Structure 1
Amino acid sequence: MRTTDKETAVHRTVALGLRQNAAQFTLLVMVNALVGGMLGQERTVLPLLGEREFGLQAYSAGLSFILAFGLAKAATNYFAGTLSDRFGRKPVLVLGWLVAVPVPLLLMWAPSWAWVIAANVLLGVSQGLTWSTTVVMKIDLVGPDRRGLAMGLNEAAGYGAVALTALATGYLAERYGLRPAPFFLGIAFASLGLGLSSVFVRETLGHARLEAAAHVARADGRHDHLHDQLSNREVFVQTSFREPALSSASQAGLVNNLNDGLAWGLFPILFAGAGLSVGRIGVLAALYPAVWGVGQLVTGALSDRWGRKWMIAAGMWLQALALAMVPWGDRFTIWAAAAVLLGVGTALVYPTLLAAIGDVAHPAWRARAVGTYRLWRDGGFAVGALVAGLVADLLGIRAAVWTVAALTAASGLIVALRMYETHHSPPRDAGSLTTASPHQQDGDEHQGRR
């Protein structure tokens, strides 16, 4: 099958490295910020909307939008990797933005909670396609040497935008009401994202093929059994269960987003029950992803120097400590401190898990491994909605937070016991590999698609 990379048709040089691809990398950072903004439009407003406008009483019913979002995003993440290997990264990215266009309109004018659920199914599909693809494209561009930094920049942009949008929607909701004003931001984000992705983003599949052609096995022989010709089923089994580092990362990602789903769906209701205004709830809803987003500018690069394993374990334990502070606290200052700690812990974990997947997975099936990891990670939203909702209905919100804190601490222990250090120094010239031959890229296509 002929490659979809149009740049090969005009004999464009392909190079690996952050500096060599600075313009496209920066553009993709901007695009992912818009992806994060689409998610951020819900963080403050939607839990309050379910309680105040639609009269939802059961916590599990109120969390149903997160359950729908998590299931849709998790499933789409898996297929996004396979589709981007088969058809190219850019078409998948553009498709994701097309799916996003009706989301803010549905949220603005939904006559019933079922419409909100439908909007979140579309949002989950869109996020699975767009966020997964921007991750894979950045990994393609930078090569093996700067993956942690690349993932830190990617996730910082996305979750920084989540924070800013949560803060902005909290202000708009307090001033103009829960609907429709806060969702005007989503219309702007979807329009910009679709335009930039359609016109200015370039295909990166050729970069992955170049890295696959120059792939060097680890000196310790750890990945000798992970050759480039794995089927979709083999990639799923290795990433989910069999390979120690990949499977450890997958379970940690699931638990990380389990506690994020709890924070998204129940924290605003807990804070409102304590008498906080919508504006102050918006500050708390923004503080956690803001620290998370900015922190990744540091933690992603540090994992390139210090390694992945212990940053992940430490981050999970710090998240558990922060979650335990929430049911213990009863005022804004304590919850703000907990939000900061939760953001720091998540910043240690989030880009580092993606970088670890990139370390272990062969370039020929890396997109599918990222898709499988993100299937489990974003499945955590659905698991979190079920666990937190059921425990909250039975025992109260504070008991639900304690439960998720314990699960998060156990996840860090699994990483400490099962995961090995995945980061190793690549060849000195790995960041400057180049090719100017489109014919060579076409020749590598069969190997790169396996």
Structure 2
Amino acid sequence: MTVRRDRTLLAVVVAAVLFAQVLLYPGIGDLVTALGATTELDAGMWFLAAEFGAFVVCVPVWGAVSDATGKRVPWIVLGAAGAAIGYATLAVLPAAIDLTFTGVLLLRVVQGAATIGAFSLAITMLMDLEGGHGKNMGAAGIAIGVGTALGAPVGGQLSELDPIAPLGFAALLLAAVALLVTLVEDRAPASDRSPREALAVVRRTPPLVVPYAFGLIDRFTAGFFALVGTLYFQDAFGLGPGDTGLVLMAFFAPFALLQYPMGALSDRIGRTIPVVAGSLCYGVGVIAVGVAPSIALAAAGMVLVGVLGALVAPATMALVTDLADPTDRGGAMAGFNLFGSVGFLGGFLLGGTVADASGYEAAFLVAGSLEIAIALIAAPAFLRLSLGRPTAASAD
């Protein structure tokens, strides 16, 4: 019962962090304008990239310190509280002191550095639980899906009222996260490694590169939809922030609702079919959304991509848990989130650059083709590692 209660609380924590993050996406163009930017696509790209750049740099540090100290909860509290202060500062400081947009981006970096600690270590605490790695990562996945599914439409409605409103709401959510996580038992295994030694998790477990590669490209498409997809739906079909949030929810709703059963499925049948076959179909789905001639068909494509994403995501995270030593879980999940953050960053930068230079259709083709390519390249590695069936670690 305690494990089930803690799994639920940690899922709420993960969902709240993602909810706060996604609140900003549907109205990103209006938000950056309100914060002093003179363009929407370029400024929105850099505003999102600033956060994920901080994710890339800081997530290994959070994971290594957590593993080295044998503690998760105090670091999550620190990260969540810092993120709450960061969001609140972004909401009030630019107007109060006439801050330049460059200054806004620096604040965004600080906020992102704190946010990733709360997010990555909350998922690591789910890795520490008993009950099956697929189920625990399914709980993480459904939390990610619920947070993003609800964050998109709520953020769209808040942006309709005031472009700055999502920042204030995000600050309140992260403050609540800092309090909620103190109710969870800290099960981090004791370790005598230094933070520097804890950073070397990939050197000790090289096969982790396989799920990391899938995490990178999956988050690439998520970052792509967050910026390019949002602006595409608005430009191609004339949607406002509120309606854009609803279209994004067409992806995130099935993505959220199917995470836990898909994670449990991967405990039974192994990780190869969900990850490799799911990624191939996912890439095709991304391309289909970009060539849909109507908003109805585009929304239907988003539903399909959401279902396929739910098949891939928990199995990929469960594979990280299968492979990592218990004392390396903080660093292992940090590595996964580092690659994922690089992917998200690439989705903003590459997707935005291709869309700006060659149009939205070419950008969707690039994003979907990269997903297909990584699945084809990594499939032999799955077979060599004999990861096509449930492992002993996944049957906890």
Determine if the TM-score, normalized by the shorter chain, exceeds 0.5.
yes
| Contact preservation (8 Å) 1:166, 1:285 | yes
The CA RMSD over aligned residues, in Å, is: 2.5
1:78 aligns with 2:41: no
CA contact (8 A) 1:309 1:421 kept: no
SS at match of 1:42: coil
Matched, 1:153 2:139: yes
Alpha carbons of 1:383 and 1:48: their partners in 2 closer, same or farther (altered >3 Å)? same
Moved more, 54-63 or 185-194: 54-63
Preserved CA contact (<8 Å) 1:58 1:393: no
2:338 alignment counterpart: 375
Post-superposition shift, 1:258? 0.9
- The equivalent of 1:22 in structure 2 is 4
Q: Deviations over 1:234-279 (max 9, x none)?
A: 423355xx42xx2121111111111111100111211111212322
The one of 250, 259, 267 aligned to 2:221: 259
Name 1:104's counterpart in structure 2.
Answer: 87
Of 176, 180, 186, which aligns to 1:192? 176
Q: Match for residue 16 of structure 2?
A: 34
Query: Matched residues in 2 for 1:407 and 1:56: separation?
Result: 32
Q: Output the CA distance in 1 between the equivalents of 2:393 and 2:37.
A: 60
- Unpaired runs of at least 5, structure 2: none
Structure 1 segment 22-421 matched on structure 2, within 5 A = 22-50=4-32, 54=36, 56-57=38-39, 59-87=41-69, 88-109=71-92, 110-111=94-95, 112-142=100-130, 146-174=132-160, 176-180=161-165, 182-198=166-182, 200-205=183-188, 208=189, 231-232=197-198, 234-237=200-203, 242-243=206-207, 246-274=208-236, 275-419=238-382, 420-421=385-386
Q: Report the residue type matching 2:125 in the other structure.
A: M
The one-letter amino acid paired with 1:93 is I
How much identity, in percent, do the aligned residues show? Answer: 26
The AA in structure 2 aligned to 1:260 is A
Does 46-55 or 382-391 show the bigger shift? Answer: 46-55
| Equivalent-residue separation in structure 1 for 2:209 and 2:116 (angstroms) | 20
**1:264 partner letter:** A
Q: Check 1:133–1:124 CA distance in 2 against 1; reply closer, same or farther (3 A cut).
A: same
Q: Structure 1: which amino acid aligns with 2:172? A: A
Residue deviations 1:326-346 (CA, integer Å, cap 9, x gap): 221232211211211221222
Q: TM-score, normalised by structure 2?
A: 0.88
CA deviation vs aligned residue, 1:169-207 (integer Å, no higher than 9, x gap) = 212323x23233x33421331221112224x233212xx
Give the Cα separation in 1 of the matches to 2:359 and 2:341.
25
Larger Rg: 1
Structure 1 residues 284 and 407, CA gap change in structure 2 (3 angstroms)? same
Contact map agreement 2:84 2:173 (CA 8 A) in 1: no
Code of the residue aligned with 1:353 in structure 2: it is: T
Could you say what secondary structure the match of 2:374 adopts? helix
1:308 offset after TM fit, Å? 0.6
Quickly say closer, same or farther: Cα 1:52–1:187, change in 2 above 3 A: closer
Q: How many residues align?
A: 382
User: Greater helix percent: which structure?
Assistant: 2
Counterpart of 1:5 in structure 2 is none
CA contact (8 A) 2:223 2:348 kept: yes
2:211 partner letter: A
Amino acid paired to 2:83? A
- The offset of 1:389, in angstroms, is 2.2
User: Post-superposition shift, 1:300?
Assistant: 0.9
CA apart distance, 1:396:
1.8
What SS does the corresponding residue of 1:187 show, helix, strand or coil? helix
Asked whether the 8 Å contact 1:60–1:385 carries over to 2, the reply is no
Q: What whole-Å deviation, never above 9, does each CA across 1:107-163 have from its counterpart, x for those lacking one?
A: 434354335423432342233211211111111121xx5111111112212320221
Q: Structure 1 residues 128, 271: closer, same or farther in 2, change over 3 A?
A: same
Distance 1:55 1:27 in 2: 38
Q: Tell me if 1:426 matches 2:388.
A: no
CA distance, structure 2, for counterparts of residue 197 and residue 412 of structure 1:
36
Q: Distance in 2 between matches of 1:155 and 1:127?
A: 18
Q: Given residue 274 of structure 2, which amino acid in structure 1 is its aligned partner?
A: M
Residues 57, 82 of structure 1: alpha-carbon distance in 2 compared, 3 angstrom cutoff: same
Alignment partners' CA distance in 1, 2:31 and 2:199: 41
State which drifts further: 366-375 or 301-310: 366-375
Q: Which amino acid aligns with 2:173?
A: F
- In the alignment, structure 1 segments of 5+ residues that lack a partner are 1-18, 213-229, 432-450
